[in-house]
């Protein structure tokens, strides 16, 4: 079975609030030019999860980390 990375795991790792992280990801996914892979895999009303090492996971991490540094 393939490894799946959940938003909860990323939030635990980066010490982020999950509801704030979901809000940031929704905003990032709506910006298709900046985050095309994240926008492509996003399906409303489904859990935020990605295949480990996928381009979408990397974009999600980048979106969450860039906001964390602000």
| The pLDDT of residue 68 | 60
| The pLDDT of residue 69 | 60
| The pLDDT of residue 38 | 94
Helix or strand or coil: residue 44?
coil
Helix or strand or coil: residue 26?
helix
Q: Is the pLDDT of residue 1 over 60?
A: no
DSSP letters, 14-42, are HT--HHHHHHHHHHHHH-TTT-HHHHHH-
Count up the domains in the chain and report the number. 1
Higher-confidence residue of 2 and 68: namely 2
pLDDT tens for 23-66 read 999 999 999 999 999 999 999 999 999 999 999 999 999 999 97
**Domain enclosing residue 47, as ranges:** 4-69
Q: Is the pLDDT of residue 70 over 60?
A: no
Residue with tokens 């704030």: 20
C-alpha 70/C-alpha 68 separation (Å) is 6
């Amino acid at each position: 079975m393939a490894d799946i990375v959940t938003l909860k795991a990323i939030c635990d790792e980066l010490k982020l609030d999950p509801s704030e992280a979901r809000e940031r990801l929704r905003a990032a996914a709506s910006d298709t030019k900046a985050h095309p892979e994240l926008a492509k895999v996003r399906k409303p009303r489904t859990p935020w999860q990605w295949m480990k090492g996928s381009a979408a996971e990397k974009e999600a991490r980048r979106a969450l980390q860039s906001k964390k540094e602000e």
